[in-house]
Amino acid sequence: MKNTKCGCGHNNPVGTILCEYCGKPLQEEENTDRPLEMRYEGKARRSQTQKRTVLDRVWNFFSSVKVAIYLIVITLLASILGTVFPQEGQIPSGRPDVYYAQEYGFWGDLYYQLGLSDMYSSWWYISLLAMIGISLVICSLDRVVPLYQALRRQKVTKNTAFITRQRASRTLQVSEEEKDPLLDRLAESLSKKRYNIRREGDSILAEKGRFSRWGPYINHIGLIIFLLGTLMRLIPGWHLDEAVYVREGETKKLPELNYYVKNEKAIAELYDEKENRQQASKDQPIVKKYETQVVLYEKDPETDQLERVESGPILVNEPLKYKDLLLYQADFQPNQTEAIRLSVKDKETDEKLGSFWIDLYDPEMNYEVKDGVEVQIMDYFPDFVMDGNRPTTKSEVPNRPAFIFKVTSPEEEKAEKSWMIAGTDLDDLHRDNRYKMELEKLKTVNMSGLMVRIDKSLPIIFLGLGIFMVGLSIGLFWYHRRVWIRWKEGTLYLGAHTNKNWFGLRRELEQATAAADLPFSFSPEKR
């Protein structure tokens, strides 16, 4: 075991760099005048003293700032990878397995196969972030405890080698008679610079801004709270991320919730020419606002009645808030066909028999037209597409409605079958039919896409970020400055240390020493 007993008689733990008692450098060869390593006050940290159990090993691994930096750099490089192609959440397709190969060729496919297209929620990326979190906790604990102890138990009288090997230091021959008035003057001028002064015999310790040393630990606590906040979203019920599309006039249940939302009106407004002065030359209009006026209902679990709880407009940047629930304007689809009006014509008499509305979202099956002529929907494909030889539907949204009708009439023995596909002319197919169906009218409404969000961990997340900012400001905008002065055997030693802004410290020392009639220059070249 290494001998860590200092010349002053103090026993230091293994790993100590500067004697805990007098500050004498312990671990280096003597007779150098390189500035001292002042980090963590030269105290031994837990990671340097305990090296036995598995827990110690884990602790030592995560307590290393080197490891922390590696984790940061690896996360940084990995994050870059994820921006090469858009992530799955940002592609305009629900089929990532096809999309990447189609859009970006071989590399796109590889990107998808390697899982990089959804890498920010991959296990390895999350573990990287988790490891940074662990490292934050352990690094901070490993350092803040010894630092706190060292700063609290500071001794005023320091070893002269400790003073002369500070980055800013001076020595001067001062006789025994001169020393007391000089030390008084120095103490006073430093005190005027708002230093806390401690005196002990022929030594002075002047210190200010110690609280800035806690900045890094405060900001790490903030980051830990932030990371915990993001983890809490995994608690059931704390996080919800859904979307609903609601047509004007429609009331829809919100997914996974006992709420219903009614779209009263959805509008999109364009800038007029006066507001958009550049508009005259260009033909693309700019949207001024998207707005959905909604009413929110809560379902009473006993009576099954909808109870109105909130109402108001939803705009982009202005969500509707009710308790924890937030509704956002996310999408706007104008002029969606909601219903169509069909007319039925008798080709033999060239007479219009009548017409009827079909609700495309919830069509009735039978329609009585006139004189016993009846139209029956045999099959309905809201979003028609051919899958090989078989007609099918892509979705439940009537983007391209198609019908198979059966028309029965007392005058015809056999029922007639006819097709209708939006945007397709099928007259040839029905040449032999007696009854002809024609599209007479469309009923269109605007449709709003609303995001449905609940995020109960938000206050924790923003609290963490707030603490982080406070810690960051304390640590980076303030600084910890200390000046050690000691008279010993006809020589005055003066040394100073700061954790940042040496320029400011040197200027302050020059002003303070000048005020004490001891004009020292602390500029680094004149060391």
Partner 1 sequence: MEQLMEYSLLATFFLYLIAGVTFVAAMTGKGTEEEKEAHVVRWGRRGLIFAMIGAVLHVVFTVTRIFLSGHFPTSNMFEFTAFLCFAIVAAFIVIFSIYRTVALGAFVMPLAVIMLAYASVFPREVKPLIPALQSHWLGIHVTTAALGEGALAVGFVAGLIYLIRWADSHPNSRTAAYLEVVMAVILMVVAFVVLSFTFSGLDYHASFKHTVDEQEVVQEYSMPPIVGPSGGEAIQVQPFLGMERPLFDAPAWMEGEKAANKLNTVLWSVFSGLVLYGLLRLILRKRIYESMVPMVKNMDMELMDEISYRAIAIGYPVFTLGALIFAMIWAHEAWGRFWGWDPKEVWALITWLFYSAYLHLRLSRGWHGLKSSWMAVGGFVIIMLNLIAINLVLAGLHSYA
Cβ pair 155, 26 in contact under 8 A: no
501 forms part of the interface with partner 1 (CB under 8 A):
yes
Q: Which two tokens stand for residue 231?
A: 């983890």
98 forms part of the interface with partner 1 (CB under 8 A):
no
- What's the rounded Cα separation, in Å, for the pair 387 and 385? 6
Cβ pair 333, 244 in contact under 8 A: no
How far is CA 418 from its chain centroid? 55
Minimum gap (Å) between residue 24 Cβ and partner 1: 21
- ∠ CA(476), CA(479), CA(483), 5° rounding? 160
376 forms part of the interface with partner 1 (CB under 8 A):
no
Taking CB under 8 A as the criterion, the residue among 265, 453, 456, 488 binding partner 1 is 453
Looking up tokens 């009473």 gives 300
- What's the rounded Cα separation, in Å, for the pair 218 and 201? 36
Write phi, then psi, for 67 (nearest 5 degrees): -60, -40
The piece of 7-15, 180-188, 324-332, 416-424 that touches partner 1 (CB under 8 A) is 324-332
Pairing mode, strands 306-315 and 203-208: unpaired
Pairing mode, strands 325-346 and 402-408: unpaired
Nearest of 231, 225, 15 to residue 136 by alpha carbon: 225
- What's the rounded Cα separation, in Å, for the pair 519 and 243? 72
- List the alpha helices (DSSP H) in 193-333: 215-232
DSSP SS3 for 70: helix
72 forms part of the interface with partner 1 (CB under 8 A):
yes
73 forms part of the interface with partner 1 (CB under 8 A):
yes
Taking CB under 8 A as the criterion, the residue among 238, 322, 361, 502 binding partner 1 is 502
217 forms part of the interface with partner 1 (CB under 8 A):
no
Does the CA dihedral 50-51-54-59 come out positive or negative?
positive
Kindly report the number of other CB atoms within 10 A of residue 213's CB atom: 20
- Comparing CB distances to partner 1, the nearer of 288 and 347 is 288
Q: What are the angstrom distances between the C-alpha of 357 and each of 37, 263, 406?
A: 86, 22, 16
String of contacts with partner 1 for each residue 245-274, x by CB under 8 A = --------------------------x---
Taking CB under 8 A as the criterion, the residue among 76, 234, 280, 365 binding partner 1 is 76
The piece of 69-77, 204-212, 370-378, 435-443 that touches partner 1 (CB under 8 A) is 69-77
DSSP SS3 for 321: strand
Cβ pair 158, 23 in contact under 8 A: yes
The piece of 147-155, 333-341, 405-413, 470-478 that touches partner 1 (CB under 8 A) is 470-478
DSSP secondary structure letters along 207-242: EE-GGGGGHHHHHHHHHHHHHHHHHHTTSTTTEEEE
String of contacts with partner 1 for each residue 35-64, x by CB under 8 A = --x-x-------------------------
Minimum gap (Å) between residue 39 Cβ and partner 1: 7
Minimum gap (Å) between residue 467 Cβ and partner 1: 11
**Segment 328-347, which members bind partner 1 (CB under 8 A)?**
328-330
Minimum gap (Å) between residue 466 Cβ and partner 1: 8
Taking CB under 8 A as the criterion, the residue among 3, 31, 83, 173 binding partner 1 is 83
322 forms part of the interface with partner 1 (CB under 8 A):
no
Q: What are the angstrom distances between the C-alpha of 14 and each of 20, 42, 65, 102, 330?
A: 12, 11, 20, 62, 61
- Comparing CB distances to partner 1, the nearer of 211 and 462 is 462
- What's the rounded Cα separation, in Å, for the pair 287 and 273? 12
Minimum gap (Å) between residue 502 Cβ and partner 1: 6
Taking CB under 8 A as the criterion, the residue among 162, 290, 367, 381 binding partner 1 is 290
The piece of 11-19, 198-206, 285-293, 340-348 that touches partner 1 (CB under 8 A) is 285-293
Pairing mode, strands 402-408 and 239-247: unpaired
Taking CB under 8 A as the criterion, the residue among 130, 286, 426, 514 binding partner 1 is 286
116: left (phi > 0), else alpha (psi -120 to 50), else beta?
Answer: alpha
90 forms part of the interface with partner 1 (CB under 8 A):
yes
User: What kind and span of H or E run contains 124?
Assistant: helix 123-152
Minimum gap (Å) between residue 96 Cβ and partner 1: 15
- Comparing CB distances to partner 1, the nearer of 201 and 459 is 459
- Comparing CB distances to partner 1, the nearer of 118 and 440 is 118
How far is CA 94 from its chain centroid? 24
- Comparing CB distances to partner 1, the nearer of 290 and 484 is 290
- Comparing CB distances to partner 1, the nearer of 287 and 415 is 287
68 forms part of the interface with partner 1 (CB under 8 A):
yes
319 forms part of the interface with partner 1 (CB under 8 A):
yes
Minimum gap (Å) between residue 178 Cβ and partner 1: 33
Taking CB under 8 A as the criterion, the residue among 465, 488, 491, 521 binding partner 1 is 465
- What's the rounded Cα separation, in Å, for the pair 217 and 61? 19
238 forms part of the interface with partner 1 (CB under 8 A):
no
The piece of 8-16, 179-187, 309-317, 433-441 that touches partner 1 (CB under 8 A) is 309-317
Looking up tokens 């970020």 gives 465
DSSP SS3 for 373: strand
- Binding residues for partner 1, rule: CB under 8 A, are 37, 39, 65-66, 68-69, 72-73, 75-76, 79-80, 82-83, 86-87, 89-90, 104-105, 107, 120, 216, 241, 271, 275-278, 286-290, 315-319, 326, 328-330, 451, 453, 455, 458, 461-462, 465, 468-469, 472-473, 476-477, 499-504, 523-525
